[in-house]
Chains A and B, each alone.
Chain A
Amino acid sequence: GQNIDQPTEMTATEGAIVQINCTYQTSGFNGLFWYQQHAGEAPTFLSYNVLDGLEEKGRFSSFLSRSKGYSYLLLKELQMKDSASYLCAVRGGSGGYNKLIFGAGTRLAVHP
C-alpha cells in the first residue's frame, strides 16, 4: 500500500522554530515535495528533496532520509502569515508521469 503520515495539527509561537514531520511508505520514489496551503486557497510549492540531506531556502528548510522514509519541514522565525496547512507529497510512478501522493496535511497555528 501507499501511505503518508503527518501530524494533524501543531501550534507555535511567533518568532519560534517548528518542525513538521512526514513519514511515507510508497511503491516508488522520485522525490518529496512540501506545499503550503492557506485555507480555501491553492497549494503553493515550498521545497523539493530527492537526495538525502537538508535543503535550505530562506526561513524554510526540508530534510529527507530515503532509507527511513522520513522527511521534515523546518520553519524558522515564525510569522503570523505562516499559519496554514503544510502538505507532504511523494512523487511516484515512472515514465515521466508526475503522480503525487499527498498526506492529509498539518495545520499549523502561529500565536503571538
Chain B
Amino acid sequence: DGGITQSPKYLFRKEGQNVTLSCEQNLNHDAMYWYRQDPGQGLRLIYYSQIVNDFQKGDIAEGYSVSREKKESFPLTVTSAQKNPTAFYLCASSNLGTGLSYEQYFGPGTRLTVT
C-alpha cells in the first residue's frame, strides 16, 4: 500500500541530545514537509523540500535540521539547540501544484518527549 511512514511512534530523549525522526513515503511525491503540533495550536511548518538535495526553512526552523538525499526520505533532526522539543511531529508529502490532487498526505506522527 502507498503511504507515509514515520518511526518510532513514541520517542524519549534526555535534554542535550540530538535525535533524528524518520519519514519515508512511497507515493512518488516531489514535496515533503515537517510540522510540529502542540496542544491547542495548529500545525506549524518546520522545513519543507520540493526536490531532492534542496529544502527551505518554514516558520519555526530554529533548532532543527533536515536532509533530502532521496526522493522518498526526509529525516528531521531535533538538535539540542531547540528549546522546547517536546511535541507531536508530523511529516507530510504532496505533489507540486495548486490543484486538488496536490493535497498533503500525513504520516502517523512521532510523539517526542525530552526530559
Contacts and interface: CB of A to CB of B under 8 A. Distances in A.
Given A40-B111, A43-B106, A100-B45, 9 more contacts: A8-B40, A31-B98, A40-B88, A41-B109, A42-B108, A42-B109, A97-B48, A102-B44, A104-B41
A87 B103 contact: no
B50 interface: yes
Interface in A1-41: 4, 8, 30-31, 33, 40-41
A98 B104 contact: yes
B108 to A, nearest CB: 5
A97 B42 contact: no
B90 A96 contact: no
Report the interface size class on chain B: 20 to 34
Interface of B: 31, 35, 40-45, 48, 50, 88, 90, 94-98, 100, 102-109, 111
Contact of B42 (A30, A31, A87): A87
Contact of A45 (B40, B88, B103, B111): B103
25 contacts: A4-B42, A31-B98, A40-B111, A41-B109, A42-B90, A42-B106, A42-B108, A42-B109, A45-B103, A45-B104, A50-B100, A87-B42, A89-B43, A91-B98, A96-B97, A97-B31, A97-B50, A98-B31, A98-B95, A98-B97, A98-B98, A100-B43, A102-B44, A104-B40, A105-B42
B96 A97 contact: yes
Q: Interface SS of chain A: helix, strand, loop or mixed?
A: loop
A87 B35 CA distance: 14
Contacts of A100: 43, 45, 104
Contacts of B40: 8, 104
Nearest to B56: A97
A96 to B, nearest CB: 4
Contacts of A45: 103-105
B50 A43 contact: no
10 tightest CB-CB pairs across the interface, nearest first?
Answer: A102-B42, A42-B106, A96-B96, A102-B43, A30-B98, A104-B42, A45-B103, A98-B94, A43-B106, A48-B100
